[in-house]
Amino acid sequence: MGTPTGRTAFDDRIRENEQDVLRYFQRRLLNDADAAEAFGELLLTAWKLRRTMPADPVAARMWLFATSRNVLLNTRRSLARRSVATRRFVDEMRTHPQSVEADDLAIEIRDAIAALPAEDAELVRLVYWDGFRSHEAAAVLGINPSTARSRLSRAKQTLRAVLADELEPTGTRSE
């Protein structure tokens, strides 16, 4: 695997993926400010590690998302160290999302995904929110592609069952 030849190739890979990477952070963090901060941290980290970025655009995309995942983990650790008052505010935002785009279905889906085991939830997000194929998501997560496929299958079954229950019209549930 070669590396990009200089700043132009690096800039091209960033430009090609910047919107997807920013959305990656927006979907996983509670507000746009934290997402923007994480994105800025990614750019700094990617610049420092640019010599290790693969030259192939697809491999470079997976490299950027793997690096984004590491930045996200660091960001979450940093956010966890915030004061108790800030944590209460963050918890309130999780309970009562203020996003205009967050309709009832989106909330149900987000909650159902969040209820999955952490690695399965991240796999679902990478495949269905970020547009990765299962083998690409496996590379980002550092797991075997067959493991990713079986986890994804199991997660989809769980989500179907949970969402079928949640979305069943009122009064028709068998209790």
**pLDDT tens for each residue of 15-36:** 999 999 999 999 999 889 999 9
Type of residue numbered 47: W
174, part of any domain? no
pLDDT on residue 96: 62
Residues of the chain predicted below pLDDT 50:
1-4, 100-101, 173-175
Q: What is the domain count for the chain? A: 2
Q: How far apart are CA 1 and CA 60, in angstroms?
A: 10
23, part of any domain? yes
Same domain, 75 and 141: no
pLDDT on residue 8: 87
Q: How far apart are CA 52 and CA 62, in angstroms?
A: 12
Same domain, 71 and 139: no
Judge whether 65 and 126 are in contact, CB under 8 Å: yes
Give the domain range for residue 24.
1-96
Same domain, 9 and 52: yes
175, part of any domain? no
Q: How far apart are CA 119 and CA 73, in angstroms?
A: 13
Nearest to 129 by CA among 147, 114, 150: 114
pLDDT on residue 173: 47
